[in-house]
Structure 1
Amino acid sequence: MTVVRQSNGPARRPRPTMDDVAAVAGVSRGTVSRVLNGGRNVSRPAAEAVAKAIRQTGYVVNQHARSLVTQRSQSVAFVLTEPQERLFEDPNFSLLMHGCTQALAEHDITLVMTIAGTPEERPRVTRYLTSGHVDGALLVSTHRGNPLLDDLAAQDLPVVACGKPIGYERRVAYVGVDERDGARQMVEYLTGLGRRRIGMITGPLDTAGGIERLAGYREVLGEAGDPSLVVTGDYTRASGEAAMERLLAQAPDLDAVFVASDLTAAGALTALRRAGRSVPGDVAVGGFDDSSIALTSQPALTTIRQPWARISSEMVRLLLGLVAGDAPSAVTLPTELVVRESA
């Protein structure tokens, strides 16, 4: 008996294979494989021909099969070592994550977001990172003494930190900016405006940014610096409000303040308005970061610009180098003074 099966539509075309790509490109299947796995020992014309053939055929890489061969997951973790709420409050983190996602996408690598901001979260995140789920990690906002760095270093996981990781400078790759010079630029600008009682709200002093920005402030003022004009913050808006209130109580005659982050500066502006101080008339205010908050603050913030897109791309570049076997290295990028209405 013959069974006739009716088709409900046109037959689906088979998915293109590496052999199809090789035929269109006019190269061997092995050349296609080498291009897909990093392009080593492949001439530029051959690589370009393969890339064009992939577009023409619509070939899609089987990531599972590739990972079995290369022992790589084709994913990287973005690890925020701060409480979860900071991810949504501080725009710097989303800027970094966006830049890293774009840079990794060029290499067909997925970014996985993880948060290790509490002692309870860190062991779980460490187990995940060191169990083969990711090829490496991008660490954001690392504080001195964070045990996560010890755990990851012990497992030989490729890691790149955003900012200098205090105590791990020779063991962990990192990308940062010249924090001290950025602070010097801001304080020199404020003194150039004729301001003489310049306060500072620092960042957390267990981070490189907190330490170096305070050092730059002190380098410019020298012996003229008054200890009562320095109050510690933690890069949050709330700490900016509290620190500014304390500064006004300790030094009611201050006429300028350098704040170690734009988010903290926004809190300082709130406190100044509440105290009836005009900005920049009574008190000039300078921030650090040039995040979106600098533009939306009232008045818009004079600040120090960090090159976020370049920081992201350099972090990804260093991490991919580590995955390929490079030794840890560091990149320090320049900052730029951006003048707006607050000073």
Structure 2
Amino acid sequence: MKRLLVAAVALTALAGCSEPQPADAGADAAAAEVGMAEAAAPARAVSLPELFDCLRTSGGALVAAHRGGPAAGYPENALETLKHGFNQGVRVFEIDVATSRDGVLFLHHDDKFGRTARGDGYVSDTEWADIAHLSLRDNDGKTTDFHPPKLSEVLVWAKLSGAIVELDRKRTTGFRSILEEVKAAGAEANVVMVTYSDEEAAEVARLDPQMMMTATARGGRDIATLEGLGVDRTRVVAWTGTDEPDPPAFERLVKEGVEPAFGTLGRKGERLDDQYWEDGDGSEYQRLIDDGVVLISTDEPYRVAEWLDADDAGWAACAVR
């Protein structure tokens, strides 16, 4: 039976995947802000493409926490929420990147404040000095002591902890700006860019040919189209949607040497997460893995990670070869 590698991304596996980077004052400052002064991880590790390849060939998978994995008392897109999820065994976090009026990249999903942050007005019209002090709300509307984090802070945390962050660009933000911050933090080995079209995938590839990304694909023809646009298939995790699992597509992608991703997230009451848990067990998630899915994006990361079995042998094989 194929197992989920809940612990398949640790510090030794990721922080040294790229060549050592020069010291960066901005990254050092961000590390201080996050309260993390640990030394850099050992350089011996596998790259993200190698990790995903190993998961695909060994029957492993990863759970990705949608919007960072919000829970009671932990708002979406908060650094404290990512740390909480990491402590619960989640290693991949899909988060949203917005830009303030004065050009500061930070985590936020909506165009306006109000739902998840106690404030009003449009993100693009608001200076970072005002955003930084906003209090975040959890999904129940409870105000917390947490505030929107800068992307730079999150990247430093990811690099030091070994977490993987999937960066979902919001309309206020450009890929170039995000990738510049990733490079400045030396966090390339911890980042997967989210793209929604072939054109976006091609843009990411032009800006950084080595950047890992999710791109929409269901088989060889889609992969060939991406390659024709300059996208390296070894840097692609193939996004297959959130509607219904497509085992034939998963099989086609695996034959192409590309890892399938599928989302069980969505509108509450309609999403597959809710359907899968109606009977109290997560057998459907295991079925996804058995059918070849390597990355499961979910609004229930804690339940999924707890229900599925961790495979220490698979982790050892994939992360520290």
- Name the structure with the higher helix share: 1
Compute the TM-score of the two structures, normalised by the length of structure 2.
0.29
Higher RCO (C-alpha under 8 Å, 6+ residues apart): 2
Q: Who wins on radius of gyration, i.e. which is larger?
A: 1
Compute the TM-score of the two structures, normalised by the length of structure 1.
0.27
